[in-house]
Amino acid sequence: MGSSFHSTCSSWTKVVLFSLSLLGLCSATAIEVSYDQTAFIINGERRVILSGAVHFPRSTEKMWPQILQKAKDSGLDAIETYVFWDRHEPVKGKYDFKKNLNFVKFFKLVQEHGLYGIIRIGPYVCAEWNFGGLPLWLHKIPGIQVRTDNEPWKKEMQTFVTKIVTMCKEANLFASQGGPIILAQIENEYGNIMSGYGDAGKQYVKWCAEMALAQNIGVPWIMCQQNDAPSTVIQTCNGFYCDSFQPNGNNPKNPKVFTENWVGWFQKWGEKLPHRTAEDVAYSVARFFQNGGVLNNYYMFHGGTNFERTAGGPYITTSYDYDAPLNEYGTLNQPKYGHLKQLHAAIKSGEKIITSATRTETSVGNSVNLTTYTSSNGGKFCYLSNTDGSQDATVDLPNGGGKFFVPAWSVSILENCSKEIYNTAKVNTQTSLMVKKVDASSAHLTWEWMAENIEDTLSGKGTSTENLLLEQKDFTLDASDYLWYMTTVNINDTSSWQNATLQVVTMGHALYAYVNKNLVGSQFSQTGGNFTFEKPVSLTEGTNIITLLSVTVGLPNYGAKYDLIDTGIVDGPVKLIGKNSVSMDLTNNSWSYKTGLNGEAQRLRKGVWKSGSSNNLPVGKGMTWYKAKFNVPSGTDPVVLDLQGMGKGEAWVNGHGIGRYWPLNVAGSDGCSQTCDYRGAYQSSKCTYNCGNPTQRWYHVPRQYFSNKENILVLFEEVGGNPQNISFQTVSVGTVCANAYEGANLELSCEGGKMSKVEFASFGNPQGQCGSFQKGSSDASTSMSVVEKACAGKPACTLAVTKETFGAQQISGASGNSNTTNINRLAVQIAC
Ligand code: GAL
């Protein structure tokens, strides 16, 4: 079968086996992983691999089993995750692998669920994760330049990679030890930005591969988006489509691997909500396998939540839902989940053939291509694609293969090259419309409050002093979003400074300015970049105190030398501009510094909370802490916190950071899509939603964070907001819709609840969409009664979408092979 990589425990001599077993790399159940151009070969079996990304710190340990089970149920073979260096080693040499950072436990669960694992160690990960996953303390190492051929960096990187690999080995996590992990990644998309590092970048790539290989893990290493990847690793592709990806040829056995098939996109504060259709994701996957793909990994399968301050930046939102097949809360994002599940089954039905076959391509019309896999024993499996963005096609396959209708921008999968078992544009799965319900027991919150005590910083008192304006993250080491810069100015001649302006040039992301203890203004960068703040100030004779609070909203995670992008008021200038444009440059004044808020530092143990009637509740007041006891919403549905009315800040439930909130930041008001055409190449600004609404209004509170004793919500409100409308809500399926083609087996489920009322059912040629379905010219009169009988009052039901089911012989349309346009459909809408 010819693999270029052999598992460490394959057919080697006893001597080698003995020495490897000393390294902990062999066990009785070792799984051999190798590959060639058309398959991964796992214990001798030729496989195509369907994988999905689930980042363990973006959910909680108690959520993992359900997420993994749903991944398994959808037909995935593997789960992929990065590891997150900044969280695992927040302080140099002090490691944290507890709770939802316990990646060993995560991979053990992966295996228990019958799944393989792919570990992307990085240790740079991008991932819209704070600072791309690198710990801030790296910058304090003398002479360090990260992600390049630099000794101090390579030493730190190797130490961390070795630490992770050693932990994997100790827990027998590699397939070569009988564990789940079949692949490991070193670095991440370095090729995209390598030119920014010159020749040193090329050297670094070689070093990465050598260092990784020397870890001796017994399974192959991959490098993504690395055109010059050496022959010792597998070179892979990331994007919305990777069907035309061709490995560089350095490694002749390099299988075609799609490490990141972006199923949607991430969101930034102020931006609209991205949506990638189920049809287009399925199209991308099917095109990839049609063109010889061997492994497809969904990025993300479950996106989850950027808890605490883990969101990258600038300006990545707290939700990392990603429009993934499992939504932020771990429940099914339908129809995406179901449509891909059916795709997986269709692809897997051809696995034996496509991994040991010759592949031929035939053009059967404009933009319509037939790919035929023929195995040595004569088995056949075909993909029939129409890559045109608007023209549907009906084609006659050569050699009497039959007539097929292929909608624009779709791929059909043909069993035995003669029967359509799947088409990426025909969605035969339910759409779930989610509802949020205010839980009666937690509807009303009684608040206590406390002003953040900023007397010290308003008086100019910091913890250290410098005669210059410092870079923010280098000073704070990102211990907080907040850095206070304070200085004093002596004014003798008040007449020249009567109507003065304070000018601050900052690298962002936000700024509050106080003069003599009074707030003179604040400013937020539109997208997280630099800006100039200018506000009139009133100065008094003698000493004036200038207090500037600089705020970051997630540190950058992408780009060549992204780690060197400045934040805060570094170098300023900060100026006072007086009469006749006379200016006083304060840049090299003596500046006092203080990281963070007092409330943050004291974790609110100190301080006197105030309470009283809602008339006294501070509204619209910045720098305010709020606290409320609450009852846990009943049931098992996921819980969100509705923070509508609040400005910007951070939230904690029983001490667990549920992330930054910023409902005040509203998504752009135009460019949202009423309808979304799946046809044509997707990019992240196509099909966006949520125009003119808060970028993120609801914040996930995992049930694991609740206590059966007392539950406390704490908010730090930075800008000023009104907490009176805050409520805990549960999220569940409110309505189930479908518009399935004749021949389909339609599965419907309220995912927990029961189907209470069939609101619409029509078998024939129904029109419209969920929420506005209408009967068409043909409609089986039995439609309602059949669906009611099968589904009403039940948590789930399955309907065979056939004429027989609806006793509708009089309904016209093709049956079975769904190869014409005028096929019958069943549209249903059911309330849960
Ligand atoms: C890739 C990167 C991922 C993620 C993705 C966008 O460039 O490798 O980590 O950031 O983009 O979501």
Q: Domains (ranges, CATH) in the chain? A: 48-329 (3.20.20.80), 336-425 (no CATH), 436-451+601-728 (2.60.120), 455-596 (2.60.120.260), 742-831 (2.60.120.740)
End-to-end C-alpha distance for the chain, whole angstroms = 52
Report the alpha-carbon distance of residue 551 to residue 549 in Å, rounded. Answer: 7
| CA nearest to 280, candidates 316, 331, 235, 239 | 239
Report the alpha-carbon distance of residue 694 to residue 696 in Å, rounded. Answer: 5
127 lines ligand 1 (CB under 6 A): yes
188: CA distance to ligand 1 center in Å? Answer: 9
Residues involved in catalysis: 189, 260
715: CA distance to ligand 1 center in Å? Answer: 30
238 lines ligand 1 (CB under 6 A): yes
Q: Which atom of ligand 1 is nearest to the CA of 557?
A: 10
701 lines ligand 1 (CB under 6 A): no
53 lines ligand 1 (CB under 6 A): no
One-character DSSP codes across 220-272: -EEEES-TT--TTSEEEEEES--TT----SSSTT--EEEEEEESS---BTTSP
Tell me what pLDDT residue 1 has.
33
235: CA distance to ligand 1 center in Å? Answer: 16
Sheet with 410-415, strands from edge to edge, namely 357-363, 368-375, 380-386, 410-415, 419-423
194 lines ligand 1 (CB under 6 A): no
- State which amino acid sits at residue 269: W
The lowest-confidence range among 118-122, 237-241, 472-476, 672-676 is 672-676
128: CA distance to ligand 1 center in Å? Answer: 7
Tell me what pLDDT residue 357 has.
86
Please say whether the beta carbons of 192 and 216 come within 8 A.
no
Q: Of the residues 58, 128, 185, 322, which should be mutated to test ligand 1's pocket, given the most ligand atoms within 8 Å of the CB?
A: 128
Q: Which atom of ligand 1 is nearest to the CA of 127?
A: 9
266 lines ligand 1 (CB under 6 A): yes
* 792-806 confidence digits (pLDDT tens): 999 999 999 999 999
Please say whether the beta carbons of 104 and 56 come within 8 A.
no
What is the phi-psi region of residue 187: left when phi exceeds 0, alpha when psi lies from -120 to 50, beta otherwise? Answer: left
Sheet with 39-42, strands from edge to edge, namely 33-36, 39-42, 45-47
Nearest CA to ligand 1 atom 4: 127
Q: 816: pLDDT confidence band, cut at 50, 70 and 90? A: very low
Q: 674: pLDDT confidence band, cut at 50, 70 and 90? A: confident
Torsion angle (degrees, nearest 10) of CA 326, 311, 479, 455 = -110
126: CA distance to ligand 1 center in Å? Answer: 6
132: CA distance to ligand 1 center in Å? Answer: 10
Q: Are strands 293-302 and 256-262 parallel, antiparallel or unpaired?
A: parallel
831 lines ligand 1 (CB under 6 A): no
Nearest CA to ligand 1 atom 6: 127
Q: How many whole angstroms from its chain centre is CA 781?
A: 45
* 7-45 confidence digits (pLDDT tens): 333 333 333 333 444 444 444 589 999 999 999 999 999
261 lines ligand 1 (CB under 6 A): no
* 441-486 confidence digits (pLDDT tens): 777 899 999 999 999 999 999 999 999 999 999 999 999 999 999 9
Tell me what pLDDT residue 383 has.
98
What the block records as the tokens of 120 is 């992307």
Q: Which atom of ligand 1 is nearest to the CA of 312?
A: 10
* 126-176 confidence digits (pLDDT tens): 999 999 999 999 999 999 999 999 999 999 999 999 999 999 999 999 999
**Model-level pTM?**
0.95
* 43-69 confidence digits (pLDDT tens): 999 999 999 999 999 999 999 999 999
Q: Which atom of ligand 1 is nearest to the CA of 266?
A: 12
Q: Which atom of ligand 1 is nearest to the CA of 322?
A: 12
Tell me what pLDDT residue 673 has.
77
219: CA distance to ligand 1 center in Å? Answer: 24
Residues 6+ apart with CB under 8 A from 490: 542, 543, 544
322 lines ligand 1 (CB under 6 A): no
H/E stretch holding 161: helix 151-170
Is the dihedral angle over the CA atoms 188, 192, 194, 196 positive or is it negative?
negative
